[in-house]
Chain A
């Protein structure tokens, strides 16, 4: 079992179909008699709609229907919702302006949904969309995050004065003020966390279908959490009971957060399918993805760190303006509050922290969770200001971190920003990372670079994240509208194979392999006899989906609960078959044994007896199938240290990453190959944020300037090095697998590592991301008068 079970680098079950072109992504699915939808989108960032004339479009060849907001309103289709209520400093709930699926009388960002054309072919729908006449009264737009709260700025919603969604605070302000008053030194930093566009390579897609015979709907969707999508569509938008809605999220080509949310397009496809009596299919073009997928990050922050004379952190004060976009996406409000402010202790014992966040509306696409979701923003603030403090105090960046780490004997550790860290060993992880990076050899490498006319820099990032989202009661107290447990069902088939149904959703995370490893290991079933089913509300009992690096910690734990019940029932059957007392039975890896004897029954024999109960315990139900629900008792706290080494060509400003060393503590690891792959991908996204990616809206017109792969710089293979990845293992003490979650770590760790390295190389305190060659070149010239004169 060892080569297949927990801890083994098993090659993936799902690979064969992906490698041979036999995956089934949403756009690969075609339904009989289906139609194609094309959305007419707003070309303006902000405008009143005076009139929409759809007459010519409706008469165009192949067109089945054209709908506008008037049609959805007439059918009482509800608006999209935000599922997390954040209360402001006075205890008032955040402003939640209406978010119609098709615009009613106003468009609020370029790409906002104006009308949908449904036709026999996509080409016919697109041709007809050109015939729709929309009379716009263009209004001034605001896209700038910091300027949005200026009272003179254009107002996005009448019911959100000052463009303010909420003004939220967390922490003990008085204690922070007192600590600052007696500080030896205060380090101050203004920074921008650049807005990103998620860009899963599979564009979003949906198919809506209605069966008039049963009154049931089916929605195929590129979703990370089909059950939650069903809940939102049924209960809040369409008024359909959940048992009349099946949501299928088949193979999904990456999500990174952007596919968590309920979007207008899938709602419209489902609604329209009933109206026209035919399936309705929509697939985003990449340009539409840029315009209408929920974006990420977009913070403007001022931070202050108070220190004593030895570089011990006394207090941290953070003020952030966070861009929500034009409307609130499904979890948007929580990302820049509870998933951000609560992480500002980092790995450190900073005794007092106060954070305030003003969330603002702008005429841009909605902003919501993107890989890391709030935690990268927190980590960037901490790891940049700590670096600046070290430089100001002329302390070694390694030493200042070491002096402030939460010690291995301090767990559980209560931070001043609500979280209780469960476990960790930060110094050990730092030591491992320094060794992996050959930190001691850096001065020699820097000298070598200098001889070649290059600037070399090294950047350390010691991040922490809260994963395993989330204890439902805690999340509820903080405003979540849902529970954040997970469910799993394990079904033995009569001949001993196992079907596993999980509410987690895999869209690259490898659950079909790793979840099978867990079940295989615990129940003693060969891996090839375990099937993992996910992504279909008609097959999987229930689920909360995949985000926040929660799948193995919460979904895996739910499977452990189910497995415990399977073993408990199996024990009764085995005891009967062995004519032994239950108390005398031992269980390990799929075998029940009468203690101290060679009398055994395998799980396969027990399963067979459960379905062919000829000789069976009286009164016991036949069958061997159990469901487990798991609600975590705490978050998990993966942490690690990433060290980036960069070399900059001062003549061009091009930053090359020459070394990357990462040591992460994810607790126990189910499949190290998969975990390393997750780390690699996260680092690439973090490097993308630091060096390449940045969403740009034109400040005057509100047009999305970075609206394609020609304009938005995605990391390519030749932008990145190979990575050195190591691990330490401090098991999570409160979930049955001792796991913590690994999906977001790289994206959280990488941006400050890169920017600490870049600023180290140039010899400056700060530079905002992305550190493009032009910005770096300018920074070098500002920092080095001799070069400026060249």
Chain B
């Protein structure tokens, strides 16, 4: 079995994996990082979004071995103790209900702000096209992302 070595949330990790193992399964099942969720099997729902070398990536769409040498950040590693401004904005604006899509939403939103520091409502809705939420109707997610972006600009 191949070995994959990568940095996850600042820690160097190495694991023997079946070649077919997806990054999300390495994170969830081998590293115990269950904050990254699996909501579909066609790379549509976005519950599994993590950052790979600073970019948002659906971790169900990447083989673990493709992440060799990469720096991966999951929802658990987004902030230390305190909430990241985007996480805090989701709480303040009730941008989550059941919480299942939330890690992917937050990771995706943080990457949006890296591309667009001051997204308008349209920008947010377009960007989040790859993240499905069944609970919120997106209304409060959009508000949260805009507020999170503002907080990140500070």
Q: Which residues of A contact B (CB under 8 A)?
A: 11-12, 14-25, 27-28, 30, 123, 199-203, 251-254, 256, 283, 285-287, 507-510, 673-674, 676-678, 680-685, 708-710, 714-718, 720, 722-723, 746
Contact residues in B for A11 (Cβ distance below 8 Å): 91-92, 94
Q: How far is the CA of A453 from the CA of B139 in the complex (A)?
A: 28
B residues less than 8 Å from A19 (CB atoms)? 75, 83, 87, 90-91, 96, 99, 102, 106
Identify which of residues 95-131 in chain B touch chain A, using a CB-to-CB cut-off of 8 Å: 96-103, 106, 121, 124-126, 128-129, 131
- B94 A201 Cβ-Cβ under 8 A: no
Q: Are A254 and B134 in contact (CB under 8 A)?
A: yes
Chain B residue contacts of A286, Cβ below 8 A: 39-42, 45
Name 9 A/B residue pairs within 8 A (Cβ), A-sorted: A201-B98, A251-B98, A254-B98, A254-B135, A285-B41, A286-B42, A676-B94, A680-B137, A717-B125
Q: Which residues of B contact A15 (CB under 8 A)?
A: 90-91, 96, 99
A19-B96, A20-B76 given; A708·B134 CB < 8 A: no
Cβ-based interface call for B20 (8 A): yes
Contact at B87–A714, with CB atoms within 8 Å?
A: no
Q: Is the contact region of chain B dominated by helix, strand, or loop, or is it mixed?
A: loop
The CA-CA distance from A11 to B83 in the complex, in Å, is: 14
The complex places the Cα of A783 from the Cα of B151 at a distance, in Å, of: 50
Query: Nearest residue in A to B76 (C-beta to C-beta)?
Result: A21
Does B135 lie within 8 Å of A23, measured CB to CB? no
Asked whether A681 lies within 8 Å of B101 as measured between CB atoms, the reply is: no
Residues in chain A near residue B79, CB distance under 8 A: 20
Q: How far is the CA of A674 from the CA of B90 in the complex (A)?
A: 13
Whether the Cβ atoms of B99 and A23 lie closer than 8 Å is yes
List of A residues within 8 angstroms of B96 by Cβ: 15, 18-19
**Which chain A residue has the least Cβ–Cβ distance from B97?**
A508
Contact B94 A674 (CB under 8 A): yes
Q: How far is the CB of A14 from chain B (nearest CB, A)?
A: 7
Instruction: Tell me if B137 and A201 are in contact (CB < 8 A).
Output: no
Quick one: given A200-B98, A202-B100, A286-B41, are A722 and B87 in contact (CB under 8 Å)? no
Q: Nearest Cβ in chain A — how far from B87, in angstroms?
A: 4
Within the complex, what minimum Cβ distance (angstroms) separates A96 from chain B?
31
Residue in A11, A20, A676 whose Cβ sees the most chain B Cβ within 10 Å: A20
Size band of the B side of the interface? 35 or more
CB-defined contacts of A684 to chain B, threshold 8 Å: 134, 136-138
Is the Cβ of B124 less than 8 Å from the Cβ of A717? yes
The 10 closest A-B pairs by CB, nearest first: A21-B35, A253-B100, A18-B99, A684-B137, A508-B98, A709-B44, A680-B137, A508-B97, A21-B75, A28-B34
B122 → chain A closest CB, angstroms: 8
- If the complex has contacts A202-B39, A510-B97, are A21 and B33 also in contact, measured as CB distance less than 8 A? yes
Query: Which residues from chain A contact B106 at a C-beta distance below 8 Å?
Result: 19
Interface residues of B in 125-154 (CB under 8 A from A): 125-126, 128-129, 131-142
Q: Indicate if the CB atoms of A20 and B137 lie closer than 8 Å.
A: no
A741 to chain B, nearest CB (A): 16
Also in contact, A203 and B75, with CB within 8 A (given A23-B99, A717-B128)? no
Closest approach, in angstroms, between the C-beta of A249 and any C-beta of chain B? 12
* B44 proximity list for chain A (CB < 8 A): 708-710, 714
By a CB distance below 8 angstroms, the chain A residues around B18 are 123
CA A676 to CA B132, docked complex, whole Å: 19
Interface contact A201-B45, CB-CB below 8 Å: yes
Tell me whether A25 and B100 are in contact (CB under 8 A): yes
